[in-house]
Every structure is written in structure tokens, then in C-alpha cells.
Structure 1
Amino acid sequence: MSAPETPEKLFGGKPRIYPMRFYGDPVLRRKAKALSVSDTLKVPGFEAQTVREVADTMLETMFEQRGVGLAAPQIGLSVRLFVAVEYEDDEEENEGQDEPLRSRVLREYVMLNPVIKPLDKKKDKSYQEGCLSIPGIYEEGVPRSKRVNISYTDLDGVQRTLEAEDYLARVFQHELDHLDGVLFLDRLPAEVTDDHRRDLLKIQQASKNFLAHLGAWEKEKHLRENL
């Protein structure tokens, strides 16, 4: 969660993984914009890339962080794109293992402009949720629809629709929230956030440090390009 000693170690070129954006970063509170498969995207701090390149790097970033989903705002890109995976078993039961997560992937999802329609009225609160942008904080009781229908565009530009239930439905809803500037703590009583105030302040400070490094790198890059 800490920022590197020099910006050059983190930014530039086409990265293997993206640095995460943390709680307190304004990009996590913006409503993301729709995108097209043919768009060229520029993650702040890096070269412009195709949507497919960004999606591939998002998946690598998610695996590196041992996650099940990652939305574009979490890498500083305010577009309506997220990636997610189904694993062979419960990732929570394997937390901390050295085994590469890719070896246990059943299916990968890359979704552009997703739209979710709940298929039941009753909300499920039985799963624990966390967030890669709020590291170390987990809570049960986040109300989510148990079954959903989700429509989206894939990387080939094909419009697709599928149904998901239980944990996968929760993952999709969590990631879609990110595209609307909503974090999972927002869906819990205010006192839950208050209970984590000290940890959240530390995460916010890490976010400020990261943005300061990004700003310094962009300033140096601009000066070099205009010499």
C-alpha cells in the first residue's frame, strides 16, 4: 500500500500490473463514462493502450492482488469496464497461498458498459465483502440481490447477457457499484465506517502519497517533453 521511493519506479510505458487507487482517491467517487471496444484508453501515468490491453493488465493486477474482481476506476480510469473471475474453489479459504490464482480460474469475465437487473426482491446479507481499494477491511451484511441478470459488451464488441447467483452475483454488483462511485462501506450503517476510521485514515494517507508521486511524475514528464 505504500508508494515507491521514486515515481520512475512506478510509472511509464506499458505496465505488467497497474498500481491500485485507494480509499480517498477522487476517481473512486466519480460516475464512470461509457466506452467502446475501439477506444484508446490512457491510464494515468502510462502509455495509451487498447481496451483489450487494459483489460488484460487489469486481470494481471487482480491476480497479483489476489482478488475476484477489479473495476477500471480502481486503476484510475473512469470508464465503465470491469473484470472478474470464477475460481475452482473459495478464494477466502486459500488466502495467502503461493499458488498462482490463474491456475484455479474457471472463467474470466471482461465487461464493458454492464447493466444489472435484479431477479429477486429479497436481499442477501450472508457473504463477507472486502475491496482491493480498501485493503484489510472486511464486513458482512452488505445487502445484495441473490440472483441477477447482467448485460454487457465483450472484447469482440458482442452484446451478451447472463444470469448469476450467490457469490458471483455479489461480485458483479460490487464491481458495478465502483462504476457508479459507490464503495461497499456505503451500503452499511454509518457506524461500521466509524469503527474503521483509524484504518481508513491510514489508507487515505497512502492515497494522497500515491497521487503526489503521480503528480510529480507527470510534471517531470511534461518538462522533459517541452525541453
Structure 2
Amino acid sequence: MILMEDIIREGHPTLRTRAQEIPFPLTEEDQKLASDMLEYLINSQNPEIAQKYGLRSGIGLAANQVNSLKRMFALHLENDNGELLSFVAINPKIVSHSVEKTYIPTGEGCLSVDRQVPGYVPRYARITAKFFTIDGEEKKLRLKGLPAIAFQHELDHLNGIMFYDHINKENPFAPVPNSLPLDGE
């Protein structure tokens, strides 16, 4: 089971390194990593388990964050319709995106960052993503709102990019051109 001490923090070189594509079929080690990452997110959102093991709640976790340079991440959150999106994306890509941007008015957080980083993080409001499941099945998803933001945040990790790299250094709360803030935040 992944615990907070298994999640590396900002400053660690793996967080700034591009992860490598994963060949199929997955090795047992890769399958275990995928299921452990998803299990962490599920556990972190369960108040009893989170308290027992001292887990910070998360909706996404990339392999880089557990010091593994493999192109995979897990997401576990609800979309705008209250449907649960819970999956591991292997070799994920964004194949198209909206011109319109969005951002979370309160800023983004990250399990690898132990501090508040104020500022708007511009993201595409809508994306079409492609990835492979653990079984090697190709999936194509259209995402908007928080799931789209989370997918982009985790994909950035696989490319060695931290969310705060997108914040305007001169004025963290500068208006984001052609954007609407994410509702309900």
C-alpha cells in the first residue's frame, strides 16, 4: 500500500524528469504499481482509512510521484454529472483540446507539494484524451471541468512539469485570457 512517505516531494529530480512509455503486455511490477496508485486515491478519499494511515486526500497520482519514471497515472474523482471516473491511464495523450481555458479559482494542489501555492493555473476547459488500460485496451475520453484539469495536471507530471510552472510569476492572479473559472469551487 502506498503511504505519504512513498510520495516524493518537490525538489526531487524524478519530478522534473520525463517518464518513459510503457510496453505491453504490462509486467507484474507495472500492474502492481497501477493498482497501488489507484488504491492510494480511493483510500485517501475514505476518511477512516485516510486518518488511520495519515493519507492526504488526492484525486490524481502520477508514477513520477512515487519515484517511478513510467508513463502512467491514476485518477479517482466524479465528473459534473456525479459519475465516478476511476481509472489508470497508461501512455496517456491529449489528442485535441478546446481553445477556451479554465482554472480553479482557489488554485491547484499536489500530493508532492507540501505548501499552498497561490495563483491561477490555466488549463484547457475541454480535452479529448487517449490512453491504454492495464489490459492494453485503448480508450478515448472526452473530459471537461475538474476531470479535464486533473488529467492535464497528471500528464504534466509525466513530462516533468509541476502545476506552479503555469502560474504567472509577475501576477499569480492575473486574468487568464479566454477563460472561465471552474464553477463550484
Specify the SS of the correspondent of 1:73: helix
The alignment status of 1:170 with 2:149, answered yes or no, reads yes
Match of 2:25 in 1: 38
Please name the residue that 2:120 is paired with.
Answer: 141
- 1:121 maps to 99
TM-score, normalized by length of structure 1? 0.63
Mapping of 1:3-42 within 5 angstroms? 16-18=1-3, 19-40=6-27
Aligned match of 1:111 in 80, 89, 98?
Answer: 89
Residue aligned with 2:18, SS = coil
Shift in Å, 1:22: 0.3
1:159 to 121, 133, 138: 138
**Counterparts of 1:132 and 1:192 in 2: how far apart (Å)?**
24
Residue 162 of structure 2 corresponds to residue 183 of structure 1: yes
Q: Which has the larger radius of gyration?
A: 1
Give the helix-richer structure, 1 or 2. Answer: 1
Q: Which amino acid aligns with 1:119?
A: H
Q: TM-score, normalised by structure 2?
A: 0.76
2:65 counterpart residue number: 74
Q: Work out the CA distance in 1 between the residues paired with 2:2 and 2:83.
A: 18
Q: 1:65 & 1:36 partners in 2: Cα distance?
A: 31
Deviations 1:124-172 (A, max 9, x none): 1344211110023243411100000000000111111010001110000
2:31–2:134 Cα contact (<8 Å) kept: yes
Matched AA of 1:17 = I
| Residues 125, 140 of structure 1: 8 Å contact kept | no
RMSD in angstroms over aligned alpha carbons? 2.3
User: Which residues of structure 2 form unaligned runs of 5+?
Assistant: 45-54, 173-185
Amino acid corresponding to residue 24 of structure 1 in structure 2:
G
Report if aligned partners of 1:38, 1:51 keep a CA contact under 8 Å in 2: no
Do the aligned residues in 1 keep the contact of 2:9 with 2:65 (CA within 8 Å)?
A: yes
Identity of aligned residues (%): 33
Are the aligned partners of 2:120 and 2:168 in contact in 1 as well (CA < 8 Å)? no
Shift of 1:88: 8.1
Structure 1 residue ranges without an equivalent (≥5): 1-15, 41-48, 90-103, 194-227
